Amino acid sequence: MTLKQALEQAREILASNDIEDASLESELLLRHTLKIDRVRLYLDLGRELIPKQEEAFWHLVARRRKGEPTAYITGHREFYGLDFHVAPGVLIPRPESELLVEKALDIAHHQPVTTVAEIGTGCGAIAISLARHLPEARIYATDISAPALKIARRNCRKHGVADNIRLLAGDMLDPLPEPVDLIIANLPYVKASELPHTGPVSFEPIVALDGGPAGLEKIRRLCRQASGKLAPRGCLLLEVGQGQAAAVTACLRGLFPSAAIAVTPDLSGIERVVSLCLTPDYLDARLAYGIRS
């Protein structure tokens, strides 16, 4: 069987099991089996697989068919143009979370951001993406999960930012040693009753997904703690789930009556990031800040 035939068959198997992006996923699994990049795969499409490779490939396809996410099978996921190591102890970075990074870099364009804290860093994707673009910043990345911090450490080394990021174990803002210019977080926000029992998300760590009965338990707690850990002109960026932006905005408005608060939709039009900046004149300067027109 050629690489092309293997890809086609795998795509059919995955698609008939209701797996989205079956072509891309088949390609990632085949590349992982053969340890080759995309260009090599396309150059070699007519080549025959040796039986051992074929066996290994179908084994991976079977795992994917049973629901295991491709990122856990391959141990890799791309985020903000970088390749991250991922494993079952961490949430797989999602494309929509790149919006958090974009917003953070946008803020850093308009005011000094010398200290940053990412809360619940998981594999470290957000903190590391920021470290690569803000090489002068001192970045703290916290997580309550020791296995997650281990994976984040490995990714910090992989991307050469181990000296820029201090990884801290602990709950929410507790481990932060100082107030920071920017707090950024993709906290667990799935309603407990909506946690999936099947499909790829069911393979991911509950601690990274479970936001309590209304999904907002962790986010509200962080909002309440934030005033003690934000620098005078500090900003807070939170990823939220579909339909949660209004409640989070209201919560922040109550806690920070004079701050500038904005909501930004993701590429699917879902209100995804709630941002708060403590300086009122920041809002005057950029009235439409955070709102895509």
Candidates 57, 72, 79, 189; binder of ligand GLN (CB under 6 A) is: 189
Binding of residue 270 to ligand GLN (CB under 6 A): no
In the bound state with ligand GLN, the residue whose beta carbon lies nearer, of 54 and 96, is 96
Q: How far is the CB of 77 from ligand GLN (least distance, A)?
A: 13
284 CB neighbour count, 10 Å cutoff: 9
Q: How far is the CB of 254 from ligand GLN (least distance, A)?
A: 23
In the bound state with ligand GLN, the residue whose beta carbon lies nearer, of 26 and 186, is 186
In the bound state with ligand GLN, the residue whose beta carbon lies nearer, of 89 and 188, is 188
In the bound state with ligand GLN, the residue whose beta carbon lies nearer, of 93 and 234, is 93
Q: How far is the CB of 218 from ligand GLN (least distance, A)?
A: 9
Binding of residue 214 to ligand GLN (CB under 6 A): no
Binding of residue 87 to ligand GLN (CB under 6 A): no
Binding of residue 186 to ligand GLN (CB under 6 A): yes
In the bound state with ligand GLN, the residue whose beta carbon lies nearer, of 41 and 245, is 245
CA-closest candidate to residue 222, choices 205, 207, 239, 209:
239
Binding of residue 99 to ligand GLN (CB under 6 A): no
Candidates 104, 119, 209, 219; binder of ligand GLN (CB under 6 A) is: 209
> What CA–CA distance (Å, rounded) separates 121 from 197?
24
> What CA–CA distance (Å, rounded) separates 274 from 245?
7
Q: How far is the CB of 92 from ligand GLN (least distance, A)?
A: 9
Binding of residue 93 to ligand GLN (CB under 6 A): no
* Residue numbers at the binding site for ligand GLN (CB under 6 A): 94, 186-190, 201, 209
